[in-house]
Amino acid sequence: MLAMDFCGLHFNTPQVLLSGCVGFGEEYTRVKGFSNTDVGAVCLKGTTLAERLGNEPHRLAETPMGLLNAIGLQNPGSARVVAEYLPKLDFSETRFIANLSGSTVEEYAEVTRIFDDSPIDAMEINISCPNVKEGGVAFGNDPDMSARVVEACRTQTRKPLIAKLSPNQTDIANNARRCIEAGSDALAVINTVMGMAIDPEQRQPVIGNNQAGLSGPAIKPIALLKVHQVYQVAGPLNIPIIGQGGVTRPEDALEFIIAGASAVGVGTALFYDPLVCSRINSVMVDYLKRHNMTHVNELVGSLQLHEPATSVCAN
Amino acid sequence: MNEHSRHAAAHPATRDTIFPEQAPILLHEAFAGDQHIIRLQAPEIAAHAQPGSFVHMQVHPTLLMRRPMSIMRANPKAGWIEILYKAHGEGTRLLSERRIDELVDLIGPIGTPFKLDGYRRRPLLIGGGVGMPPMIFLAEHIRRQATDNQPLVILGSEVPFPFKARPSQILVPGLPAEVIAGMPLLEDWHIPSRLCSQQDFPGCHQGFVTDLARLWLDSMEPRQHGEVEVFACGPTPMLKAVAQLTAEYDLPCQVSLEEHMACAVGGCAGCNVRVETETGPAMKRICVDGPVFDARQVFPQAG
């Protein structure tokens, strides 16, 4: 009922563990009862060409129903990820997706080339990281730059490419169209929403990087609308969407699929409940049975909009 | 699919080492200064905890983020753990209102504990404020080992201590006679302890924990310093002062750190701090690479 094909890859379930929340794929298996087999894919931590130490503390701040983070793409560099981290992964349990980042178009291409020559199943292009000075969201908010990055990565691999779109832009649907035209096989919608937390006593931002990316239930309504908007473009072209942003309760996952997502990303929810994935699976199966559906695919994009009102007047 | 090996040699030894438990509250006691001690029935965590371990606690179901909390005591036989916390924010305030028999969602034990292979025979344990708990855990561990160790515990607090101090019956050579207040629990375990505070608490050393530690070190023959090893947990300025002191006397020193934390299992890199390693600076995860680090790695400029 939940097993599915995603860009030619077999997913155990429509859940995807999100980049930046689960390290390089093995970290959550420390928790007894957690299993990578509960999800369709695991996105590894954002990786650049060379090692990056990331930002100084604090990197995190809790906000009402949300979490601000500014890690700053700490990673050991793509060559070491391929040589030291991938061999430790059990590819029989789930699919593993690399998350590519860079400060220049050339860097994205080079990182793609390095992962192409590895057992990784697919690659997510992070053109929406809000916490680094160059690249990241600066590329993601400019449709021309987004397309250039995707094109450059496309020349380096035949593995599935997934462009991760930023919510911090005016017309996400247009950016989605440009990324598809540039060769993206799927889209991840959305990355974190840019924000800030201030300590009034110190009159300083709480986060070392000053600004940060907001995740968690607080951003779910934003993410749902963006998925709905992107689906209008991607749906007719059969380009699947990984809907993500604030999924916490199992019902949230259903909402994203109804809005048009083929798969659903789970990130911050793990921090609240490390065993949330198995619960989401059970609720999905129950829901499909109750609605006489045989496969989760039947639910994708099944949103029934209200008819536009013809004569509404406030007074 | 391709020519690359897609089979891991073996699953890492870290798998299934952190236990989720719905832990009933057995005791919940309030002390002055908004301090609380909570005892939770968590048999798996109690069985596997080591000095320096912590739990990641859902302090209240309405809050998104868990709170990392050091374990103060673990009783594997009875299956409980004890935690000392200060109610200073929304989360810990909500926790302080929770009653006996309510269930608290925990994952643990977490973290790389204190390295205790062949530690020196005069362990000096220094705890400040809510940094006291790991020192209590370590003291109980040392006591259980029942060797000829001669530990000393120095605790500091600027709010009233979360226990009723009493005059220590265990003489510690080299300490001022008027500094006599100790922690009853440690006293019961026959481990000498002394208390420090800038407040005018009776029997306490008026000053920093490091001042009292220095008096103790200075009272020894210099050759005896080779028998001393320091373990510390507390606020960063205190840990820095401890690192400076131990660098000055060339003593091994392990410190336990804290930072805002999201996943606590090594996944999010949110709690990372800068440490010096043999290969240069690195940002290490407090949750699983720590919380215990060598003081010289964290405060390389000390001394």
Contact call for residues A163 and A146 (beta carbons, < 8 A) = yes
Q: Is B20 annotated as belonging to a binding site?
A: no
Q: Is B219 helix (H, G, I), strand (E, B) or coil?
A: coil
Phi, psi of A26 (to 5 degrees): -105, -15
Contact call for residues A198 and A187 (beta carbons, < 8 A) = no
Contacts of B12 (CB under 8 A, 6+ apart): A26, A29, A88
Q: What is the pLDDT of residues A90-130, one digit of tens each?
A: 999 999 999 999 999 999 999 999 999 999 999 999 997 76
Whole-angstrom distance, CA of residue A132 vs CA of residue A72: 6
pLDDT of amino acid B1:
43
DSSP 8-state assignment for residue A83: I
pLDDT of amino acid A129:
73
Phi, psi of B210 (to 5 degrees): -70, -25
Q: How far is CA B214 from the centre of its chain?
A: 21
Rg over alpha carbons for chain A, rounded to the nearest Å, is 19
Question: Is residue A204 packed enough to be buried (19+ CB in 10 Å), middle (13-18) or exposed (0-12)?
Answer: exposed
Q: What is the crossing angle of helices A172-181 and A220-234, to 10°?
A: 40
Q: Using a CB-CB distance cutoff of 8 angstroms, which residues of chain A are in contact with residue B2? A: 119
Whole-angstrom distance, CA of residue B71 vs CA of residue B50: 9
Whole-angstrom distance, CA of residue A121 vs CA of residue A8: 10
pLDDT of amino acid B2:
47
pLDDT of amino acid A314:
58
pLDDT of amino acid B35:
96
Which amino acid type is present at position A219?
Answer: I
DSSP 8-state assignment for residue A297: G
- Across the strands, what pairs with B83? B38
Q: Using a CB-CB distance cutoff of 8 angstroms, which residues of chain B are in contact with residue A270? A: 263, 267
Taken in order A250, A256, A258, A261, the sign of the CA dihedral is negative
Question: Is residue A52 packed enough to be buried (19+ CB in 10 Å), middle (13-18) or exposed (0-12)?
Answer: buried
Partner-chain residue, chosen from A59, A66, A119, that has the shortest CB–CB distance to B4? A119
Contact call for residues A259 and A251 (beta carbons, < 8 A) = no
B10-110: CATH topology: Elongation Factor Tu (Ef-tu); domain 3 (2.40.30)
pLDDT surpasses 90 at B201: yes
pLDDT surpasses 50 at B220: yes
Q: Is B5 helix (H, G, I), strand (E, B) or coil?
A: coil
B-facing residues of A in 129-158 (CB < 8 A) are none
Q: Is A258 helix (H, G, I), strand (E, B) or coil?
A: helix
Stated length of chain B: 303
| Residue reference for tokens 């490419």 | A161
| Residue reference for tokens 């990316």 | A213
Contacts of B10 (CB under 8 A, 6+ apart): none
Q: Is A241 helix (H, G, I), strand (E, B) or coil?
A: strand
Q: C-alpha distances in angstroms, B35 versus A276, B21, B108, B160?
A: 32, 24, 22, 9
pTM: 0.95
pLDDT of amino acid B3:
55
| Over residues B263-279, mean pLDDT | 96
| Residue ranges per structural domain of chain B | 10-110
What number of other Cβ atoms are within 10 A of residue A51's Cβ?
16
What would the two tokens of residue A35 be?
A: 């299993």
Whole-angstrom distance, CA of residue B127 vs CA of residue B136: 9
Partner-chain residue, chosen from A61, A119, A270, that has the shortest CB–CB distance to B263? A270
Give exposure, B154-167, as e/b (b: 16+ Cβ within 10 Å).
bbbbeeebbbebee
Q: Using a CB-CB distance cutoff of 8 angstroms, which residues of chain A are in contact with residue B18? A: 30-32
Which amino acid type is present at position B130?
Answer: V
Q: Per the residue annotation, which of A7, A21, A43, A129 is the catalytic one?
A: A129
pLDDT of amino acid B10:
87
Which is nearest to B285 in space by CA: B301, B255, B264, B254?
Answer: B264
Q: Is B112 annotated as belonging to a binding site?
A: no
Q: What is the pLDDT of residues B78-106, one digit of tens each?
A: 999 999 999 999 999 999 999 999 999 99
Residue A281: its H or E element: helix A276-290
Q: Which of A131-145, B245-259, B282-296 has the lowest mean pLDDT?
A: A131-145
Strand ranges across the sheet with A60-63: A60-63, A66-69, A212-215, A193-195
* Residue A119 touches partner B, C-beta closer than 8 Å: yes
* Residue A45 touches partner B, C-beta closer than 8 Å: yes
Whole-angstrom distance, CA of residue A192 vs CA of residue A267: 11
pLDDT of amino acid B230:
98
pLDDT band at B118 (very low <50, low <70, confident <90, very high): confident
Task: Name the residue of chain A whose CA is nearest to B59's CA.
Answer: A272
| A129 catalytic residue (yes or no) | yes
Q: Is B91 annotated as belonging to a binding site?
A: yes
Contact call for residues B261 and B273 (beta carbons, < 8 A) = no
Q: Do B8 and A65 touch (CB under 8 A)?
A: no
Which is nearest to A195 in space by CA: A209, A179, A211?
Answer: A211
Start-to-end C-alpha separation, chain B: 57
Q: C-alpha distances in angstroms, A145 versus A103, A105, A138, A239, B208?
A: 12, 8, 9, 20, 57
Residue B242: its H or E element: helix B236-248
What would the two tokens of residue B232 be?
A: 């510390």
Q: Using a CB-CB distance cutoff of 8 angstroms, which residues of chain A are in contact with residue B269? A: 20, 23, 45, 54, 59, 71, 74
What number of other Cβ atoms are within 10 A of residue B144's Cβ?
9
Instruction: List chain A pLDDT tens, one digit each, 315 residues.
Output: 999 999 999 999 999 999 999 999 999 999 999 999 999 999 999 999 999 999 999 999 999 999 999 999 999 999 999 999 999 999 999 999 999 999 999 999 999 999 999 999 999 999 977 666 666 677 888 999 999 999 999 999 999 999 999 999 999 999 999 999 999 999 999 999 999 999 999 999 999 999 999 999 999 999 999 999 999 999 999 999 999 999 999 999 999 999 999 999 999 999 999 999 999 999 999 999 999 999 999 999 999 999 876 665 655
B-facing residues of A in 162-201 (CB < 8 A) are none
Indicate which of A27, A36, A55, A207 best probes the interface with B, i.e. most B CBs within 10 Å of its own CB.
A27
